[in-house]
A and B are shown apart, each in its own frame.
Chain A
Amino acid sequence: MVKQALQGMAKVSAINQDRAQRVLELQQAGKKIFGYLCIYPILEMLTAFDIVPFRLFGDINEPVTKANNFLPTVVCPFLRSYLDLGLKGRYSFLDGLITSHICDVGAGVPAIWNYAIKTPYTYHIDTPHTMRESAQAYHRKLMDSLQASLEEYTGRKLEPAKLVDAIKKHNQQRSLVRALYDLKKPDPPLISGAETILMIKAVQSLPVDEGNNLLCEVIAEVKARKNGPVKKAGRLMIWGSILDNSALVEMIESLDANVVMDDTCVGSRPYFDDVKITKNPLDGLAGHYLNHIKCPRTFISDYFAQQKDHITDLKRRYGYLGDYARDWHVNGVVMEALKYCDTHGYEVPSVKDYFTEIGLPSIYLEHDYTLGMMSPLKTRVQGFLEIIA
């Protein structure tokens, strides 16, 4: 109850100490709580059914022990941690779990979860990896299936007006997150990269209305405060795989750099495009979640190109990163990926090619979801910042 009285960044900090507290309160009041993995499950649909979406993360501070019986060490350490927390009961309060085909491991873990953990309701969305017409049609049909499944679970028909209302609320959240990111454009930025991660995690721990209120509070607070980040030589952008804790960014910001922009999934990725409100709202949702989230798990290409050109291809795939760099006055890029993340791993040389093409220095850091990695990485980032300077 103390947290109810907290405001702004203090509330963000408190939520990050105990992410589930609010949804547990809501559950006691009769709400259903569904966990979701990564950023492709259709949150608007859950909100429209009066289900509270709660994003699931790993825990860098918790050694993986129980998951070793079910997942080999050579797969994504974040997903191993996530499964490990599930096995240890951290997510035992969930009424349901929505997953999607984010990558091979992300698609395979749900069945293992079901074998070893057993959440009352589960649904897996086979989100396509291409954006061709056939994939669009397939993804659209999956929206119907998800709707039918949730209708069966809740015993209620989905009301189109409620879905439109949910889309508007989530679009408002996207808009507020973009407003928050606008506060990172000045030099110095008004909010740090580490604070941004904690803010996004807090928002993803709350029902959409409460998340929006929190964003409004934080934006107002950050604009007014006098003790924000200080000006530094490096204005960095981070590109890469999931950072569901602020340790890496804190390490970077302990040096002569501010992290002013990111292209990560506990960051800008879920929020930088709105869902179009279409006559049938499922059309807009299907298009948004396949086409407008820029995780490299989706294959972006000119699918019928008869001629290929590497640089043209890079600009098509990563042009938005150039826009970010320009608008946030970025002077260096940290590319990071979790060890065994193939989705990002294959991209690394091409993303680096793109930054080289537009004249931005970059560094690639591979990490293993442990705090122990920070010390050697810090040395490398220090060297990189000297190059930028």
Chain B
Amino acid sequence: MTTSEKPKVKTINRLKSMYALRAEVDKMYAAGEDATNTGKPVAWVMLGQWAEPILTAMDVISIYPENYGSVCAAAGKAAPFLEASDAEGFPSHVCGYARNCFGYSAKMKELGGAIPPSAPMGGMPAPTLLVASSEICDARFKWFQALGRYFNAPLGTIESPYPGLKESIEPGTDERSVQFLIAQLREFVTFLEQLLGRKMNWDKLDEVARGLAGINRLRWEINRLRKAHPGPMHSKDLWSSITAAFFRGSESKAILDGFQKMLEEVKQRVASGESALNVPEKFRLSFDGLPPWHSLDIFDKLAARGWNFVIESNYRPYTPVNIDLSKFGDPLERYVRERFQSTNNTLEGEYTPEEAAAVRDEITRTGNSTILQIKHVRDCRCDGMVIHILLSCRSASLNLCAMQQKAVDLLKVPALVLEGDMVNASLFDPADVLKKAEAFEETMAYYKQMRKEAGIPW
């Protein structure tokens, strides 16, 4: 099948519950438009788990330039913004989301603060404030700092601890990280209170935080069901629905309902053996890296070959924390303790005690774990991984080659390496992907035999 041909039938069996969640992201941009009319403060916020509930509790509208980068990419509208970023002097290798944002901001400045006419989905209104985070990617601090060229908006920061793997399981590390986060957030709340001239609504924060924890738990339960054969939920459904969890999570009632329906639908599929594909599942794959938002239809074409993307390494829900929050009187402490992710938490929540002990031992001895980054491949019994190396994203690309090595070493699961970008369509060649896919099927068949010989049970 060529890239221009569309499959005759819909090859991916989309979850019906996904559509309502996908539509939620539209509301984020509508809220931004409303804010322009009502004078509500608008924050440009980086993806991360800490800021939005606090902003919501302070009645600030959150808009996510990273999401807007994927919106522009998916709408085919990113290229002029990327070019404008280059013209501003930013290197072309920096984050595609950031470049989209720089170009957008430069155009907005040229227009005296008006939304560029070419902006899809109504665009992002000019920010009242910027909220930068080091979560996921620490260079993002520099991104929002660089926006000072275009906006005089105050800039708040939230820093996340990232101990090394060996250090992360040492006694005292988790508590030190928790205290650091609480202190960071307290400073952030002070910053907001001074800026907005009003007090934090702690009850509202509690409410939003509980809702978000509920959403995460539902997503976690859904993901656990994805081990089933055939895979009941395709990666495209995850990518379409996560925007609701990440960017609209503070509207927790609607989103909770949406993910509850998704959980029920996936459960139903597992019970009835219904696949995420409308064709027979021939190969089970993991997608590792950020998706090519501009070329998602490639997955429909791969589905036509029987490729079911049953799991991913990005955008995974964190392991729910089971602690009694009532013993913490400080709402910020409750907030952090319920959402803090650590290696210890992952080991306790996702591994048997015996395997957790073995992983700890390996980390202590070697400073590394072979299984930690590729457990999803083993759990879902994948035949292959597709890893997407992104020209403009170091944090998402950094570990992919090492994961590829580990998957081959430990699980005898091969990877198809694609090079591209999450925003810049010109760096991704769908025709080449399809050509490589055909050859990769032979590789997967070869490794299946290798697994059999090694006694690996799939």
Which residues in A have some Cβ–Cβ distance to B below 8 Å?
Answer: 68-76, 99, 101, 103-105, 107-112, 114-116, 118, 122-124, 126, 128-130, 132-135, 137-138, 141, 145, 296-297, 299, 301, 303-310, 313, 337, 339-340, 342-343, 345-350, 352-353, 364, 366
Contact = CB atoms under 8 A, between A and B. Distances in A.
6 contacts: A74-B397, A104-B394, A110-B164, A124-B165, A343-B142, A346-B142
Interface string B86-128: 0011110111001000000000000000000000000000000
A99 B184 contact: no
B220 to A, nearest CB: 25
Interface string B392-409: 101101111110011000
A300 to B, nearest CB: 9
B225 interface: no
A134 B142 contact: no
Given A110-B367, A111-B165, A342-B142, A135 B152 contact: no
Contact of A126 (B142, B164, B194, B368): B164
A132 B366 contact: no
Contacts of A301: 145, 155, 157
Given A75-B398, A304-B190, A308-B148, A126 B157 contact: no
B149 interface: yes
Given A103-B138, A299-B145, A129 B399 contact: no
Task: Determine the main DSSP class of A at the interface with B.
Answer: mixed
B183 A111 contact: no
B401 A296 contact: no
B273 interface: no
A71 B398 contact: yes
B183 A134 contact: yes
Contacts of B336: none
B139 interface: yes
Contacts of A309: 152
B353 interface: no
A107 B93 CA distance: 19
A345 B94 contact: yes
B159 A304 contact: no
A108 to B, nearest CB: 4
Interface of B: 88-91, 93-95, 98, 132, 134, 137-139, 141-143, 145-146, 148-149, 151-155, 157, 159, 161-167, 170, 172-173, 176, 179-180, 183-184, 186-187, 190-191, 194-195, 366-368, 370, 389-392, 394-395, 397-402, 405-406, 419
Given A70-B402, A124-B167, A345 B367 contact: no
A114 B159 contact: no
B209 to A, nearest CB: 20
Given A138-B183, A346-B142, A348-B90, 4 more contacts: A108-B395, A114-B367, A115-B406, A138-B161
A123 B183 contact: no
Contact of B394 (A74, A114, A138): A74
Most chain-B Cβ atoms within 10 A of its Cβ — which of A72, A109, A123, A349?
Answer: A72
B135 to A, nearest CB: 11
Contacts of B389: 72-74
A368 B458 CA distance: 43
Given A72-B398, A74-B391, A340-B394, A349 B90 contact: yes
A310 B152 contact: yes
A303 B83 CA distance: 31
Contacts of A99: 164
A303 B157 contact: yes
Query: What 8 pairs across the A-B complex have the smallest Cβ distances?
Result: A124-B164, A134-B183, A114-B367, A346-B142, A342-B139, A349-B89, A114-B368, A345-B91
A124 B93 contact: no
Contacts of A345: 90-91, 93-94
A74 B390 contact: yes
Contacts of A366: 91
Contact of A101 (B162, B165, B173, B367): B162
B394 A105 contact: yes
A364 B89 contact: yes
B167 A101 contact: no
Contact of B180 (A76, A134, A299): A134
B367 A122 contact: yes
A345 B154 CA distance: 22
A353 B395 CA distance: 28
